[in-house]
Amino acid sequence: MRTFRRTLCHLSMRNSIVAIACLGMAIPAVAEVIEVKLGPGVTLEKRLILQPGKFAELCADLKSGQAVAWRFNAAASTDFNIHYHVGKQVEYPERREGVSNASGRLVVGSDQGYCWMWINRSAVPIALDVALSDTGG
């Protein structure tokens, strides 16, 4: 099975190609990238199963001034980030390692595609419950 290594820091996720932001270990080139739509008053709740050594992303196109309250609870520790792309650069409004739950509020500065990403570095599947709520501006 083909793998990506640390030297390959990023591939575009927009065309169903995997987004990898300089992961410290080789992972299989298979992931779950889920495009979601958020708008005023919309709340998305989703349960994901992170397979061992894999990652999952929830991605949404957001507008400047839009705000999204987010929270997640995982059955075990994951690496988590919220990121977006500026050309070939990846920016991280939020980034945490080894967390099983977190919450926060993202306020969008410019029209952009944003992704909430979880990485399972363990040897067992991890159940993950996620909620994203568009709270307007």
105-135 residue pLDDT tens: 999 999 999 999 999 999 999 999 999 999 9
Between 64 and 13, the more confident residue is: 64
Tokens of 108: 């969008």
Output the pTM of the full model.
0.77
Give the pLDDT of residue 25: 36
Does 52 have pLDDT greater than 70? yes
Tokens of 39: 């708008």
Read off the CATH number of the domain in which 74 is found: 2.60.120.680
Strand partners, 114: 60, 84
φ, ψ of residue 80 in degrees (nearest 5) = -130, 145
The mean pLDDT value for 61-70 works out to 96
Give the pLDDT of residue 49: 93
For residue 109, what are the domain limits?
A: 3-136
> Would you give the end-to-end CA distance of the chain in angstroms?
44
Does 22 have pLDDT greater than 90? no
> Among residues 63, 70, 44, which one has the least CA distance to residue 137?
63
Element (H, E) at 59: strand 55-62
Q: Give percent helix, percent strand, percent coil of the chain, each to the nearest 5.
A: 0, 60, 40
Give the pLDDT of residue 38: 94
Between 97 and 14, the more confident residue is: 97
- What's the domain count of the chain? 1
Comparing 4-8, 68-72, 107-111, the range with the smallest average pLDDT is 4-8
Maximum separation of any 2 CA atoms in the chain, in Å: 44
CA distance 93 to 114: 10
